Amino acid sequence: MAERKRVVVAGLGDVGLLTAIRLARHADVVGISVKDALVSGQELGVRLSRPGDWARDYWIPFDRFRGLDRVRTVQAELTGVDLADRTVFARGSDGAAITEEFDALVISTGVTNGFWRQPIMQSGAEIAADLHAAHQRLAAAESIIVIGGGAAAVSSAVNLATTWPDKRIDLYFPGPDALAGYHPRIWKRIRGRLGALSVGVHPGHRAVISNGSADTRITNEPVRWSTGQPPAAAAAVLWAVGRVRPNTDWLPPDILDAQGFVRVTPELKVPGHRGVFAVGDVAASDPHRSSARNRGDSLVAHNIRAEFTGRRLRCYRTPGRRWGSLLGIQADGLEVFLPSGHALRIPAWPVQRIVMPGFVRYGMYRGVRPNDPLR
């Protein structure tokens, strides 16, 4: 019997977790993460407005995933890699040095983005404290400004206004329209929803970020605009301006592009390094880094198995436009926006009884154990 190969998955966020699950039956997989759970970067609006609902679907301890039963998970901070010697280096929560050898490496460390996506070592208690502190901060505010024109900002404005209809909520963004990269039909539809929720919509406003860390916390100082409008003020200012920074400080500079993202071939391989792949928001696969949302995990898992057995690798194909649910699960169900701009609405009952338990928890994750009531 051939010796089983070892795969190290560096980063167990949304896409890294799925990649590890797909590879678990074919190799000895080691997953390294600064968290002891999946703490998704998705659905910021639901996270802020309904943290209990968000935690149910997007904060799940690794030991609840049946698909990870064959994966050895290590909570540690990545500190370096020797691609020639095929060894990853990390530091545990106790400061101890950790080394992991690999036959294949998956780089899926994602990006830093605002206060909700930070690559720091955290316990479950610390994650819970951050989650509820942000929610309480916004719950106590009579007025909220949301800054940004991407999915995180738009979703936040809609969800905050839905949860707290009596608050004054305003959305500011720099372009004439929000949701660049999505079909224009989608923004038209969601702008109508914002209007129905009495959210103020303010295009053409580019915020001045005087403090380099302003987007890593909820602030209350007046917001100034480089586009000339008078300052705007609210009790709470949510910065969702999309200043993503790749979590690649632990990688050698020669495999990174000018912005610090990992350069990849169409097969999501790192050029010049056998058995090294990158996937998700950290991978420079296309301008939108869309392998995070378009089954890049499946492609990388297939290509690693193919490389081990000498078979042909597949190429990643982008969808052209961004797509997805955008607003998350609502009381009346889930609306999924397609690349064509059309919306597919799934009522609440099948979402909770079929989509989440069947397609997501069983189909994608290969089974998720019930939550521990003592958590």
Report which secondary-structure segment, H or E, holds 231: none
DSSP string, 279-348: -STTEESSTT-GGGTTTHHHHHHHHHHHHHHTPPPPPP---SS--B-SS--BTTBEEEE-TTS-EEEE-H
Helix boundaries (H) for the chain: 14-23, 44-49, 51-58, 124-139, 151-163, 184-196, 296-309, 348-350
What pLDDT sits at residue 250? 98
Residue-range domain boundaries for the chain: 6-122+244-320, 124-239
pLDDT tens profile 263-275: 999 999 999 999 9
- Residue 169: phi, psi to the nearest 5? -125, 130
Inform me whether the pLDDT recorded for 375 exceeds 50. no
Q: What is the percent of the chain where pLDDT is above 90?
A: 85
- Do 124-239 and 6-122+244-320 fall under one CATH topology? yes
Q: Hey, is 352 helix, strand or coil? A: helix
User: Which one has a higher pLDDT value, 277 or 3?
Assistant: 277
Q: Hey, is 188 helix, strand or coil? A: helix
Question: What CATH fold (topology level) applies to the domain 6-122+244-320?
Answer: FAD/NAD(P)-binding domain (3.50.50)
Assigned CATH for 124-239: 3.50.50.60
Q: Hey, is 28 helix, strand or coil? A: strand
pLDDT tens profile 127-156: 999 999 999 999 999 999 999 999 999 999
